[in-house]
Chains A and B, each alone.
Chain A
Amino acid sequence: ETGVTQTPRHLVMGMTNKKSLKCEQHLGHNAMYWYKQSAKKPLELMFVYNFKEQTENNSVPSRFSPECPNSSHLFLHLHTLQPEDSALYLCASSPLSSTDTQYFGPGTRLTVL
């Protein structure tokens, strides 16, 4: 048990749907992250939240909208996605230092039809 949970584990959606991914961490960390993991591509950092404030948006299209209501919860709202957005979306959390370990959830496998 890593202490980071993600729901749902699998999601299939059409291009016109709106859905949300949820991440929760039980580790008392102050930073949370969204990553995208596609086949044959390096792990891509999407968003970083430190103390609930967004500190990094790695040129992510606006069809992905993050929300961090508190230090324990992180959402990724999805709308009008494209088939190329199909990927494994990983959430992670950590304390704030650059030497700290990031703890990852199991991911949500997203398929866009």
Chain B
Amino acid sequence: AQSVTQLGSHVSVSEGALVLLRCNYSSSVPPYLFWYVQYPNQGLQLLLKYTTGATLVKGINGFEAEFKKSETSFHLTKPSAHMSDAAEYFCAVSDFNAGNMLTFGGGTRLMVKP
């Protein structure tokens, strides 16, 4: 069975500071990993995903994530936070056996201070 753990349900950073949102997964087969963002009163939107190939994945709005198999991690980073990055972020995992079903983490709410 798959699972996703997001460390820190709330993260606060200052505008211009590094953003680091942590995600660890468990999967018995090679995983497919996703980060989604949810802005207030909206549905989830894909930021980036890893399926195969290059382990450093770049997404929208300046975000990137690195798949580290040895650490079973897929942490999300952005060098410089912007006020508009304030939202809830969800890490999710799938794999070949799971078909088209995703398992989501509990989410991390990012707050950006001026």
Q: In this complex, what residue of B is CB-closest to A102?
A: B102
Encoded as 1 (CB less than 8 Å from any B CB) or 0, chain A from 79 to 98 comes to 00000000000101011111
Q: Across the interface, which residues of A come within 8 angstroms of B94, CB to CB?
A: 98-99
> Between A and B, how many residue pairs show CB distances below 8 Å?
60
A98-B94, A99-B32 known; A105-B43 Cβ under 8 A: yes
Q: How large is the interface on B (under 10, 10 to 19, 20 to 34, 35 or more residues)?
A: 20 to 34
Contact assessment for A42 and B104 in the assembled complex, using a CB-CB cutoff below 8 Å: yes
Stretch at the interface among A11-19, A43-51, A65-73: A43-51
A3 to B49, CA, bound (A): 20
B44 interfacial contact with A, CB 8 Å: yes
Contact B34 A107 (CB under 8 A): no
B interface: dominant SS: mixed
Interface size class of A (residues with CB under 8 A): 20 to 34
CB pair A98–B100 under 8 Å, yes or no, is: yes
In the complex, A4 Cα to B51 Cα: how many Å?
A: 24
Task: Check if B100 sits within 8 Å of A96, measured CB to CB.
Answer: yes
**Chain A positions within 8 Å of B98 at CB level:** 98
CB distance from A90 to the nearest CB of B (A): 6
**A53 in the interface (beta carbon within 8 A):** no
Q: Using a CB–CB distance below 8 Å, which chain A residues touch chain B?
A: 2, 4, 31, 41-43, 45, 48, 50, 55-56, 90, 92, 94-107
Sample 27 A-B pairs with CB under 8 A, ordered by A number: A42-B104, A43-B44, A43-B104, A43-B107, A45-B101, A50-B100, A56-B101, A90-B43, A92-B44, A94-B100, A97-B100, A98-B32, A98-B95, A98-B98, A98-B99, A99-B49, A99-B94, A101-B46, A101-B49, A102-B46, A102-B100, A104-B36, A104-B43, A104-B44, A104-B45, A105-B43, A107-B43
Q: Which residues of chain B have a CB within 8 Å of any CB of chain A?
A: 32, 34, 36, 41-46, 49, 51, 90, 94-96, 98-102, 104-107
